[in-house]
Amino acid sequence: MLKVKITVIRKACYTDLIEKYENPLENPCDMEEGQVFIANGWKKPAGFCDSAWQCISSFVMALSHGGENFYDGWMKNSKSAMISCNDGFRPVSFLLEALEKEAN
């Protein structure tokens, strides 16, 4: 099973939607651009957002088992995917990349 590198690429924030629709939150998303996590197969990395994990975990699982070329050539690197969490107020985009097997 391959490890998968998860990099926080972009974090958006739609303040107009937050002001109009969201109840105040004490601790909204704490992900930071450039932050890196390593997933070991199906296991959620420590400190990774539970909600975001639900959005990306199927792609992480597929990549960790050698899956590639999602959606017929969508990504330049066929062993990667760009997936966002489903937070409509502050979506976070993650780059998922399968890492090569380590030499024994």
Q: For residue 57, report the phi and psi dihedrals to the nearest 5 degrees.
A: -60, -35
pLDDT tens, N- to C-terminus, the chain (104 residues) = 999 999 999 999 999 999 999 998 888 889 999 999 999 987 999 999 999 999 999 999 999 999 999 999 899 999 999 999 999 999 999 999 999 875 44
Distance between CA atoms of residues 60 and 42, nearest Å = 7
**9 vs 94: CA distance, rounded Å:** 5
Distance in angstroms between the alpha carbons of the first and the last residue of the chain: 14
pTM comes to: 0.91
Spans of all domains in the chain:
3-98
